[in-house]
Copies of this chain bind each other. A is one copy, B any other.
Amino acid sequence: MTPPFLIFLGDVPFAPWSKTGWGLKTWREADCLAQLRLPGCVADLGLPDMTPGEAAACGARTMVIGVVNDGGIVSDSWIASLTEALEAGLDLVAGMHTRLADIPAIAQTARRLGRTVHDVRHPTRSFGVGTGKRRAGRRLLTVGTDCGVGKKFAALAIDKAIRARGIDSDFRATGQTGIMITGRGVAVDSVVADFVSGAAEWLSPANDPDHWDVIEGQGSLFHPAYAAVTLGLIHGSQPDALVVCHAVGRDVLYGFPEYPTPSLTDCMAANVMAARLTNPAARVVGISLNTASLDQAAAEIAIAQAERDTGLPCCDPIRQGADRIVEALLEKG
């Protein structure tokens, strides 16, 4: 995945669906050159708008699909832009369930021009079933009240804060955006269901006793579509520590209005119960609050309220980083 990147936002109808683009903009900003938006696009990363030809002329090497959607589907309305990018000299990177390499117009154009098409969501290896056997090293997993509440961001911020203290840590990507940011990982939602916990075991192998794996969570135990992925990831990760992530103001699951988001305490209880199957010492060590919908004063009130409700350190890692959680994590040993 060669930078610089042109980030393709397509005709994304909901701003939260541009989270792959936002993740790249946030964690690999120097590599993000421009964005490409089609009519109807409601997202804006604040990058210059360019066509593939313009971006290539400015040095871009790769166009990355920066949007997600339920089902991970490549829209027909994108295909002309994707082939245009190949024609302009760019490689393609996507994190959809649909493989770009399975779309004839894209596969043929890429082959004719010698371009690379990389479908990062598709595992490039097979996995065994989970063993449930304990392994050395320490593990933290972010979990959430819903999808798109900041589990990846929290994990990246926690990993950064642990390493800032001179302690060994690895961020373990479990979704397409995390893989694009760090260049490795497994999109666990794309693994055959029988092997999800086995894939999670593989992703965070035995390590030094004091080493932390900070594992990006997926979905939510309270999600009617994605809880299976969440549970397999919990069981295979065998986390010592859980961080519960929530977006303030998200009262129902995004796109599933019949489903209320759980309270922080209900979410904590359900995740701890699930995690204790494979690690009886699992506990929640902090709360990560996405307060993007609030101003600074209201955000501080919401964070203080979450600390009172849960008795745990809480922070918004976008506003504050994750020091507060990491200090408590390392202090308690």
Instruction: Please list the residues of chain A having a beta carbon within 8 angstroms of any beta carbon in chain B.
Output: 70-72, 97, 128-133, 188-194, 196-198, 222, 224-229, 231-232, 235-236, 256, 258-259, 270, 273, 277-278
Which residues of chain B come closer than 8 Å to A193, judged between CB atoms? 188-193, 196, 228-229, 232
- Specify which chain B residues have a CB less than 8 angstroms from the CB of A197 in the assembled complex: 224-228
The one of B70, B131, B190 that contacts A224, using a Cβ cutoff of 8 Å: B131
Contact between chains at A228 and B226 (CB < 8 Å):
no
Chain B hits for A129, CB < 8 A: 70-71, 225-226
Q: Distance in Å from the Cβ of A333 to the closest Cβ of chain B?
A: 24
Q: How far apart are the CA atoms of A228 and B198 in the complex, in Å?
A: 11
This chain: copies in complex: 2
Whether the pair B132, A97 counts as a contact (CB closer than 8 A) is no
- For A196, what are the chain B residues with a Cβ–Cβ distance below 8 Å? 193, 228
State whether A278 and B224 are in contact (beta carbons under 8 Å apart), knowing that A129-B70, A189-B194 are contacts in the complex. Answer: yes
Cα distance A227–B130 in the bound complex, in angstroms: 10
Complex alpha-carbon distance, A31 and B187, angstroms: 43
CB distance from A4 to the nearest CB of B (A): 31
What is the minimal beta-carbon distance from A130 to any residue of chain B, in angstroms?
4
Residues of B with C-beta under 8 A to A194: 71-72, 97, 189-190, 225-226, 229
Q: Shortest CB–CB separation between residue A229 and chain B, in angstroms?
A: 5
- On whether the beta carbons of B229 and A132 are closer than 8 Å, the reply is no
Extra contacts, 16 of them, besides A130-B226, A131-B225 (Cβ < 8 A), are: A71-B194, A129-B225, A132-B224, A132-B256, A132-B259, A133-B258, A189-B193, A194-B226, A197-B224, A224-B235, A224-B236, A227-B277, A228-B228, A228-B229, A228-B231, A228-B232
Shortest Cβ distance from residue A194 to the other chain B in the assembled complex, whole angstroms: 4
Complex alpha-carbon distance, A228 and B191, angstroms: 11
A273: chain B residues within 8 A (beta carbon): 270
Q: In the complex, A226 Cα to B194 Cα: how many Å?
A: 6
